Amino acid sequence: MKLLSAAATALLLLVPFGARASAAHALALPAAVAGALFAAVLAVVLGQATGSPKPFVGLLLALWYVAMNDKGRTPALDLAGFSGAASPGSIGGWLAAAVLLAAGALLLERFRLSRA
């Protein structure tokens, strides 16, 4: 349930940006969706693993810092379509990372419930 609410909130915030930016860059909307899902899943996984929001904030800010300083030269760093450099491969990579992290979140939740 945490994962669904986090994903819905992230999509609500980033999809309008991606839809507006898709006029300039065709892959802006899919990149925004991939970035929103990755950020939501990362928040849930790190929150479950540590019990604190601080690791998520620190890691996501570090990723955005690196991506912004790259200035769109590396498509793999275009986390949410901010620089317009996203490629189908980079979008797929962020989605794959989100799926793997989501599987980890579900396994961690099951592990915690089995111990209770």
Task: Kindly report, residue by residue over 51-94, the tens digit of the pLDDT.
Answer: 899 999 999 999 989 988 988 899 998 888 778 888 999 999 99
Range of the domain at 47: 2-115
**Which residues lie below 8 Å from residue 12, measured CB to CB, with a gap of 6+?**
none
Only one residue has tokens 């989501």, namely 102
Check whether 20 has a pLDDT greater than 80. Answer: no
- Cα separations (Å) of 89 from 27, 74, 98, 108, 114? 11, 12, 14, 28, 37
How many domains, in total, are found in the chain? Answer: 1
DSSP annotation of 72 reads T
pTM comes to: 0.82
Residues 6+ away with beta carbon under 8 Å from 48: 2, 105, 108, 109, 112
